[in-house]
Amino acid sequence: MAFRRLPIIIRSSAQLFFNNNSSNTQKPHALLTRIIPISHSPAPYTHFSTCSTHLNGSDSDSLKPEDGFGTNHREFQKWHNGGGTFHKSACIDPTALVQLGAVVHSKSLVGANVHIGSGAIIGPAVTIGQSTKIGYNVALSNCTIGDSCVIHNGVCIGQDGFGFFVEEGGDMVKKPQVLKAKVGSHVEIGANTCIDRGSWRDTVIGDHSKIDNLVQIAHNVVIGKNCMLCGQVGIAGSVTIGDYVTLGGRVAVRDHVCIASKVRLAANSSVTKDINEPGDYGGFPAVPIREWRRQVAMQRQKSKKIMKRTLASTVLIH
């Protein structure tokens, strides 16, 4: 025989007082009565939220959800073109597209016809020039981006550089990284490239420069106009590069080095000292291309001679 579960009315002590007092005919408040079914299983947990209007000023402020920049989440709104999220203090041109999942933080400036892909984070006080395209999952902070740039997926610009020093006690201490990264106009930056912010001077990428995927540009680096950096190039801190410089794939440049304008470096080269004259360079350490080719030819000849001697001695032994 099936039993029907009947509701039980749980009344508070206040309601019982009202019922026992014949002179008081006022009904109990709805919040004082709750109907629950009979069940042998434990009662489920109930989640409660507190409205800030019922709190005083200090308690209300303590319950405000805040992000890492001290901004109230309630100050973010949905952008009309694309469904992304923006802070009410951000200045965004009406023609800009902010896709769903993208976030534009406080006091950022977004120019006309800018396209911001899903998952992109535009940090506080970042400036993006007109007609620039920001790919998926891009992170921009402490930086300015010029006009008509293309920033591909996964690029990170404006994060702290890798700067530390050893104090007297032997501990590693972080150097302050407080300046910006500045990207010129008509610049294209490949996927997953990282450009650090400056510490003693701004990190600068000149106009019309093109940067491939997986390139690391450290803090305080200054790159001139119309430069080309191929994949997996690594540039250490405080390097100065002139205009029309081309770095082949996996070129490494040590810190505090200056490279003159119109220099081209072969792939896998390593720059360990200043290059003051324009031209082609290669090798480790990088030298003028003709000298590097002579070094390669001489090494090849030595290798052939050693092989011949080894074969001759092997024949004599047998």
Question: Is 186 within 8 Å of 204 (Cβ atoms)?
Answer: no
In this structure, which long-range contacts are made by residues 287-296, counting pairs with CB atoms below 8 Å and at least 24 apart in sequence?
A: 292/266
Residue 58, H or E segment: helix 57-62
Pairing mode, if any, of strands 164-166 and 172-174?
A: antiparallel
Contact 18, 24 (CB under 8 A): yes
Q: Which residues contact 126 (CB under 8 A, 6 or more apart)?
A: 105, 108, 109, 140, 141, 142, 143, 144, 145, 158
Q: Among candidates 91, 77, 208, 195, which has minimal Cα distance to 143?
A: 195
Give me the active site residues, please: 219
- Coarse DSSP helix, strand, coil percentages of the chain, rounded to the nearest 5 percent: 15, 30, 55
Judging by DSSP bridges, how do beta strands 85-87 and 76-78 pair with one another?
antiparallel
Distance CA 208, CA 148 (A): 10
Q: Are strands 133-134 and 115-116 parallel, antiparallel or unpaired?
A: parallel
